[in-house]
Amino acid sequence: MDMGLRESVAVVVGAARGLGKAIASAFASEACRVGLWDVSPDVQNTANELSGSAWVVDVANDASVRAAASETWGKFGAVDHVVFAVGVGSGKFGFPFWQLEPSDWDRVLRVNLIGGVSVAHAFAPRLAERKKGTMLFLSSVAGQIGSQTDPPYSAAKAGLINFSQCAAKDLAPFGVRVNCLCPGMVKTPLNRSVWQAWADRQPPEARQDYESWTAEKIARLVPLNRWQTPEDIAALAIFLASDRTANITGQTINVDGGYVMR
């Protein structure tokens, strides 16, 4: 479907794989010029697939973010859409929370929350100057329900929802829209790592393989009783970048099969 995004510039942060790659691919399919950021050098391979431009960026390092933003503006001359699709977990099963250490929180908050703030700082002033554009932050249903699986991840994603609302209010007078998208159960490396952290904590007789564990969880928690896909997430990301959503800002929208009913 033509969303009227042809020749616009989209920067997708976290684009080497998973949801970020799916979103970057969706922008490319709309004939956008795409800038792909990721901490992994594999982002260059994804950029080659999509005929985009790649930057290796550590969002936990503000200097890295600002340098990449400056290079991206220089490369494209303008940026229209920014998507923050970064997510890392603690790598541990966090129930109960005191099984973790306070030090387990540092990197998760630095990447998932402060990383998003750094990206926003790097792009917002120029978007405001142009008086157009969109920003989208990928949070999670975990940020809405206080997930016990990985409390640092859950808290960071909750903070990202709140920050996106603050950013939406600040940028609205300049015609820049900011929204937040919360995926539900998506088959990604991060999702599999949650299972692995759980499995490592179980006695042998209680362990389940990944497919069985996720099937049971989906049947119990997702009313539509199915996975959400990266393409589902990308479709909404593209929609929110388009002028068809010109009056949507400051919203948190779920693609979760009904996981979180609000």
* Residue 180 included in any domain: yes
Cβ atoms of residues 225 and 170 within 8 Å: no
* Residue 186 included in any domain: yes
Cβ atoms of residues 100 and 151 within 8 Å: yes
* Residue 26 included in any domain: yes
Give residue 144's pLDDT: 94
pLDDT tens for the chain, 262 residues: list them: 688 999 999 999 999 999 999 999 999 999 999 999 999 999 999 999 999 999 999 999 999 999 999 999 999 999 999 999 999 988 777 678 888 889 999 999 999 999 999 999 999 999 999 999 999 999 999 999 988 889 999 999 999 999 999 999 999 999 999 999 999 989 887 777 777 877 787 888 888 888 888 888 899 889 999 999 999 999 999 999 999 999 999 999 999 999 987 5
* Residue 223 included in any domain: yes
* Residue 4 included in any domain: no
* Number of separate domains in the chain: 1
How many CA atoms lie within 13 Å of 153's alpha carbon, on the beta-carbon side? 23
For residues 78 and 257, what is the distance between their CA atoms, to the nearest angstrom? 36
Cβ atoms of residues 157 and 190 within 8 Å: no
Q: What is the pTM of this model?
A: 0.93
Give the CATH number, domain containing residue 185. Answer: 3.40.50.720
* Residue 262 included in any domain: no
Give residue 1's pLDDT: 65
* Residue 261 included in any domain: no
The domain of 14 spans: 9-255
Give the bridge partners for 134, in sequence order.
Answer: 81, 177
How far apart are the two ends of the chain, measured CA to CA in Å? Answer: 29
For residues 103 and 248, what is the distance between their CA atoms, to the nearest angstrom? 38
For residues 171 and 71, what is the distance between their CA atoms, to the nearest angstrom? 23
Give residue 56's pLDDT: 98
> Cα-flanking dihedrals φ and ψ of residue 232, to 5°?
-60, -45
Give residue 9's pLDDT: 98
Q: Judging by beta carbons within 10 Å of its beta carbon (0-12, 13-18, 19+), is residue 51 exposed, middle or buried?
A: exposed
* Residue 68 included in any domain: yes
How far does Cα 128 stand from its chain's mean position? 22
